[in-house]
Structure 1
Amino acid sequence: MSTPSESNNNTINTKSQPNTVSSTSLVLYTSYLQCLTPPPPPLPLTSSISLPSSPASFNEDKPIEKYYKKEKQILVEFDQIVKDIRFQLTEQLKCLEQRIDTQLSILAEIQEYFKRRADVELDYAKNLDNLHKQIGQKHRTQKARRESWILHSIYKLWDTIVQDTRTHVKYHTIMSDVCGKYMYDKFNEIAEDTRRMFAK
Structure 2
Amino acid sequence: MTLGYAGDADTSWMEDLALEELEMVSEQVDEDLRALDDGERVSGPSAREYRHRVRKSAAVFTGRVVIQADNARRLLSSKHPDIHHGQGMTCVWRYETAGCREEREAAGVDVHGPDEPLCRTECVNLAYTDRNIEDKKRELARHEAAAVDPLSPRPLRDREAAKATQARAVITAHELGRHGNSRQKPAGKERLDGTQTS
Q: Normalised by the shorter chain, which TM-score bucket?
A: under 0.3
Which structure is richer in relative contact order (CA contacts within 8 A, separation 6 or more)? 1
Larger radius of gyration: 1
TM-score by length of structure 2 reads 0.24
TM-score by length of structure 1 reads 0.23
Quick check: which one's helix share is greater?
Answer: 1
